[in-house]
Chains A and B, each alone.
Chain A
């Protein structure tokens, strides 16, 4: 499969969305809405639930399946209010020592007039900064399209996993091609050069694990979540934050030729 075929695959409507993941992996999910600053953004779904017997906070992008749903959640493109809601729920999780599990699937933050006026940059920057220091375990799973700062805003985590046919990228291959070559039709070539598939990113050390899709997907994911949550919950909060800091600070890994 070429990189661009993966992109198309990652965008398929038939892929499981946040609702399916919640239904199949968690019990007693209760949705919590709103940024408490004036708005509810449907493009991010959040709430609390049990994972096995552990209370957790679940947050994820929501694209919707039908046209009506797509419009209601803006095709998974969030506004500042969405990121602020996500951060509010994450801080709540920290207070009650609940691990956080996020599901990432977005074409990017919404490029709109209102989003800009309401501080898109500040909302994303704050979410990223605060997530980096939250004293509770965080696991992020890229399930479809993980695109731009809009993805990262809920994906600064102790473990970052990718479903095998998902992508994680700085911007869409179409956007990339139109900036670099002034031609969105070169997206296929861009996708190849950008190294955005799960395997490329795992090879470069930018993600931790690739999860299989298909029949076994949910079973494997459930098992891995159980194992890693058990492990992460044993780590002292201070150590956890320190390790998360180092994970991003030295994200270049072996590529990093810098010395102080």
Chain B
């Protein structure tokens, strides 16, 4: 009798343990660098930075925007643009569908307007989860629409890049997006617009060699891989291993290729200051 009661209690405890461990898995994440555990909500509050070692968790576009905007001022634009799969490329359509379901976005960039300390800003944030943040016709088109919108409204333009380059599955259409976006930025800047480009991990290939490189001011997140050619391609070409830190944000700063490496903790305040300095009134 007594043993029966004890058994039942034991079983109940086991069940509870299981539920607890499941909740823990759900809400706690452990840092890939130093294994420090932290609650998801807390991590979001402090900008997706590990309190143990300073590791930067990748941020989704929405997380990035939430972190920067004056509360609830972001309004997304052109969110329903979908690739027309110009080459009818084998398997590409299904891949897009899968990612659209997974990320809840139609392609690799989120655009819209928000306010930062009351200043309206046209903002784009790329999403490296979506086919490595590659630029095809949708990314190109949205960047152009946003840039033209900012030009008309005389808003500053803020773009967070994160991209493996051009989207191969859209062939030469993707290469043309480099010309298209660079041309839009050129017109925006000629009209006096202020474009602030922030390079995050990774920014390479066709994106790094078009709109991302063209900021009036170019900032970079610490440790971000930034370059035209990928490190693997370079290693294959020159037949040597690359030095530690090559093509990282700090390396670019040292070689005079970005204005400033900015810690994520300081990103918001530096952006705000730059927006204020360039405000036109």
Q: Is the CB of A180 within 8 A of B228?
A: no
Q: Which of B10-18, B23-31, B205-213, B267-275 contacts A (4 or more CB under 8 A)?
A: B205-213
Q: Is the CB of B233 within 8 A of A111?
A: yes
Q: Which of A20-28, A51-59, A65-73, A245-253 contacts B (4 or more CB under 8 A)?
A: A245-253
In whole angstroms, what is the CA distance A226 to B39 when docked?
69
A128 close to B (CB within 8 Å): yes
**What does the 1/0 interface line of A50-90 toward B look like (CB < 8 Å)?**
00000000000000000000000000000000000000000
Q: Is the CB of B178 within 8 A of A152?
A: yes
- Return chain B residues, CB-CB under 8 Å to A179: 168
Which single member of B172, B185, B227 contacts A169 (CB below 8 Å)?
B172
Q: For B171, B186, B208, B210, which residue has the most chain A Cβ atoms within 10 angstroms?
A: B171
> How many residues on B have C-beta within 8 angstroms of the other chain's C-beta atoms?
54
Q: A120-B227, A121-B209 are in contact. Are A170 and B90 (CB under 8 A)?
A: no
**Tally of A-B Cβ pairs under 8 angstroms:** 159
Interface of B is mostly: helix
Q: Which of A39-47, A193-201, A215-223 contacts B (4 or more CB under 8 A)?
A: A193-201
Q: Which residue of B lies closest to A108 (CB)?
A: B229
Interface residues of A in 198-213 (CB under 8 A from B): 201, 204, 206
Interface residues of A in 111-149 (CB under 8 A from B): 111-113, 115-122, 124-126, 128-130, 132-133, 148-149
Looking at the assembled complex, report how far the CB atom of B217 sits from the nearest CB atom of chain A, in whole angstroms: 13
> How many residues on A have C-beta within 8 angstroms of the other chain's C-beta atoms?
51
**What does the 1/0 interface line of A216-247 toward B look like (CB < 8 Å)?**
00000000000000000000000000001100
Q: Is the CB of A252 within 8 A of B246?
A: no
In whole angstroms, what is the CA distance A244 to B187 when docked?
12
Looking at the assembled complex, report how far the CB atom of A168 sits from the nearest CB atom of chain B, in whole angstroms: 6
Q: Is the CB of B234 within 8 A of A129?
A: no
Looking at the assembled complex, report how far the CB atom of B168 sits from the nearest CB atom of chain A, in whole angstroms: 6
Q: Which residue of A lies closest to B86 (CB)?
A: A255
Q: Is the CB of A193 within 8 A of B87?
A: yes
Q: A112-B234, A196-B171 are in contact. Are A249 and B229 (CB under 8 A)?
A: no
- Return chain B residues, CB-CB under 8 Å to A245: 183, 187
Interface residues of B in 175-217 (CB under 8 A from A): 175-176, 178-180, 182-187, 190, 205-206, 208-214
Q: Which residue of B lies closest to A249 (CB)?
A: B180
A9 close to B (CB within 8 Å): no
Q: Is the CB of B171 within 8 A of A195?
A: yes
A14 close to B (CB within 8 Å): no
Looking at the assembled complex, report how far the CB atom of A187 sits from the nearest CB atom of chain B, in whole angstroms: 13
Q: Which residue of B lies closest to A167 (CB)?
A: B172
In whole angstroms, what is the CA distance A115 to B180 when docked?
24
Q: Is the CB of B211 within 8 A of A125?
A: yes
In whole angstroms, what is the CA distance A104 to B251 when docked?
32
**What does the 1/0 interface line of B239-259 toward A look like (CB < 8 Å)?**
000100011000100011100
- Return chain B residues, CB-CB under 8 Å to A152: 175, 178-179
Q: Which residue of B lies closest to A260 (CB)?
A: B145
Q: Is the CB of A248 within 8 A of B176?
A: yes
Which single member of A118, A125, A171, A175 contacts B209 (CB below 8 Å)?
A125
Q: Which residue of A lies closest to B247 (CB)?
A: A116
Which single member of B185, B227, B246 contacts A121 (CB below 8 Å)?
B227
Looking at the assembled complex, report how far the CB atom of A33 sits from the nearest CB atom of chain B, in whole angstroms: 24
In whole angstroms, what is the CA distance A148 to B205 when docked?
9
A7 close to B (CB within 8 Å): no
A156 close to B (CB within 8 Å): yes
In whole angstroms, what is the CA distance A171 to B206 when docked?
11
In whole angstroms, what is the CA distance A118 to B137 when docked?
29
Which single member of B89, B179, B211 contacts A156 (CB below 8 Å)?
B179
Q: A120-B227, A245-B183, A245-B187 are in contact. Are A170 and B175 (CB under 8 A)?
A: yes
Q: Is the CB of B172 within 8 A of A252?
A: no
In the complex, besides A248-B179, A256-B84, 11 extra interface pairs with C-beta distance below 8 angstroms are A109-B209, A111-B233, A121-B257, A125-B211, A132-B179, A132-B186, A156-B183, A170-B168, A206-B176, A245-B183, A248-B183
Identify 13 residue pairs between A and B in the complex whose beta-carbon atoms are under 8 Å apart, listed by A's number: A109-B209, A116-B228, A121-B257, A124-B209, A124-B213, A125-B212, A128-B179, A152-B179, A195-B171, A245-B187, A248-B176, A256-B84, A256-B137
